[in-house]
Amino acid sequence: MTDKTMTGKTVLITGASRGIGAAAAQVFADAGANLLLLARSGEAIAALAREIGPQARALPCDVSRADDMQKAVQTAQDTFGSVDVLIGNAGVIEPIAPLATSDPEAWGRAIDINLKGVYHGMRAAMPVMQAAGGGTILTVSSGAAHSALEGWSAYCASKAGAAMLTQSAHLEGAAHGLRVMGLSPGTVATQMQRAIKASGINPVSELDWSDHIPPDWPARALLWMCSAASDGYLGQEISLRDPDIRQRVGLI
């Protein structure tokens, strides 16, 4: 991407250490954005920030902690002067287990990250964006938000909640200039898919590696969602399984 459409814009990416988050960091950097990379694994995001260059900063962050996300938004303002885009990407698939034998602590941790983490990001960013007259909030969703899968009760429930949060943010933020959307990428060739494969539970674990799309596809879709070309989808969840969407993004 060489059009530099994001020059002067500041983008916060949660879960930026690997997978879709790391791919998005590269795609948005190529488009000229200033980046604040957020993840619990500080070494990984620091290395990615060094690779990208001075337009990227890394901040260790646990999205399940509201204070961490407030600090992240403040850091973006202090460092780059604005908060233009928030990408809520951080998520965990564990615990993969039957409801009847699931560990309550692990189950609750998934809710803390996948659901409350999205809320904490929105809660920190929305007042800043609304005061500035606009901004874009993108939530990385999943088909699991809408279809239950065996062994994935925590993931499905948390993703369904995050999808409702995204709709709520649109309803409340649109009048203040906020652009809010979800992206359901389908199955992506990331470390999460390796954990799913190893579990052997439900049909997703049976997919061949070649069935998964590369991480740069959802990353490029997220960039497209920051453009006026996606305005017809505000408040909605875009699916990369849709051939029309793939064509609009320029993936086919």
3-state secondary structure the chain: CCCCCCCCCEEEEECCCCHHHHHHHHHHHHCCCEEEEEECCHHHHHHHHHHHCCCEEEEECCCCCHHHHHHHHHHHHHHHCCCCEEEECCCCCCCCCCHHHCCHHHHHHHHHHHHHHHHHHHHHHHHHHHHHCCEEEEEECCHHHCCCCCCCHHHHHHHHHHHHHHHHHHHHHHHHCEEEEEEECCCECCHHHHHHHHHCCCHHHHCCHHHCECCHHHHHHHHHHCCHHHHHHCCCEEECCCHHHHHHHCCC
Tens digits of per-residue pLDDT, 38-75? 999 889 999 999 999 999 999 999 999 999 999 999 99
Instruction: Express as a percent the part of the chain with pLDDT over 70.
Output: 97
Residue 32 has a pLDDT of 96
CATH class of 10-249: alpha beta
pLDDT for the residue numbered 1? 39
The pLDDT score that the predictor gives to residue 237 is 96
Alpha-carbon torsion angle 153, 24, 122, 238, nearest 10: -60
Q: What average pLDDT does the chain have? A: 93
Check residue 200 and give its pLDDT: 80
Per-residue CA distances from 167 to 142, 153, 234 (Å)? 15, 21, 9
pLDDT for residue 77 is more than 50: yes
Among all residues, which ones are annotated catalytic? 155
* Spatial CA neighbour of 19 closest among 191, 204, 242: 191
pLDDT value at residue 42: 86
Given a cut of 80, whether residue 83 has pLDDT beyond it is yes
The mean pLDDT of 74-78, rounded to a whole number, is 97
Cα 164 to Cα 136: distance, rounded to the nearest angstrom: 17
Question: What is the largest distance, in Å, between two alpha-carbon atoms of the chain?
Answer: 52
Instruction: Report the C-alpha gap between 122 and 112 in whole angstroms.
Output: 14
Alpha-carbon span 248 to 233, nearest angstrom: 12
Q: How far apart are CA 49 and CA 192, in angstroms?
A: 22
Indicate if the pLDDT at residue 191 is higher than 90.
no
Contact (CB, 8 A) for 42 and 70: no
25-29, 56-60, 132-136, 240-244: lowest mean pLDDT where?
240-244
Phi/psi at 51 (5° precision): -65, -40
pTM: 0.94
- pLDDT at 141 exceeding the cut of 70: yes
Q: Which residue has the higher pLDDT, 209 or 60?
A: 60
The confidence band for 137, taking pLDDT boundaries of 50, 70 and 90, is very high
pLDDT at residue 209 is higher than 70: no
CA distance 250 to 238: 14
Model confidence over 150-184: pLDDT tens digits?
Answer: 999 999 999 999 999 999 999 999 999 999 999 99
Q: What is the mean pLDDT of residues 27-33?
A: 96
